[in-house]
Structure formats: C-alpha cells, structure tokens
Amino acid sequence: MVDKDVDKYMYKIQKMLINKTYVIKPTDYKMFKKNDKGKIREIYKLDYFPHRVIQWALMLQIQDILHSTLIGNTFSSIPSRGIHLASRRLQKDLREDEDGTKYCLKIDVKNSTQTLISQY
C-alpha cells in the first residue's frame, strides 16, 4: 500500500514526527515462532508502516555514527561484515600472534546471555 502512494504515506510520517505523535506501544509488536534449524525462535515484528519505515530512515541517518564507535572486530549485523570475515580475521590473528592470542570468544546467544568462553 505504501509503494502505491509513497508521497501520501511519507506525508503522514512527516506529520507524526513534527507533531510528536509517533509512538511504539508494546501492542504494536506481533510475535510469531519460527523453526530455525531445530531451534524455535520467538520473532517480534512491527508493522511496515509506519514503524519499520521510520526505523529504516533513522538507521540510514545514524549508521555511520554508530559504526564509527565500534571496534574493527565487531561483525554482527553490519553490512559487509559477517561470519566469514570474522572467521578470516580470527584465523589471521591466531597465525600471526599465536602466543599473544590465547583466548577466543565463542558466544551462543540464548535469552541475551553469553554462554561460553573457551580457551584456544
């Protein structure tokens, strides 16, 4: 619906932001369960309009600021950084400084908790 009349919906968003009437309520989230390789995950999702449109617009404006505050070995959810780059960097560090690289971090995220730190 938004793609069919972009100007109309952008004007609505503009009015909400100018008038400070835009809010996200707990009831705006829709929860569903997804089977992800045998793990059942609870996914909370906001409607495309207006919430995800506004979130995307905000992220486009602040992503450079956020990314500039992260160390070079931060990979998750950053465009062009992912598990493959993380793996290559870790392997390089382990090869180049085996004695100085004694520990590596392995994290399994469940209920927002770090569960395992293993020694190399």
pLDDT in 10s for each residue of the chain, 120 residues? 999 999 999 999 999 999 999 999 999 999 999 998 888 999 999 999 999 999 999 999 999 998 889 888 888 778 888 888 888 888 888 889 888 777 766 665 554 433 334 433
CA distance linking residue 49 with residue 32, whole number of Å:
19
Structural domain including 61 reads 1-69
Extended beta strands in the chain, E state? 30-36, 39-45, 103-105, 117-119
84 and 55: one domain?
Answer: no
57 and 2: one domain?
Answer: yes
93 and 64: one domain?
Answer: no
43 and 26: one domain?
Answer: yes
63 and 82: one domain?
Answer: no
1 and 57: one domain?
Answer: yes
Q: Which of 52, 69, 86 is the last residue of a domain?
A: 69
The count of domains in the chain is 2
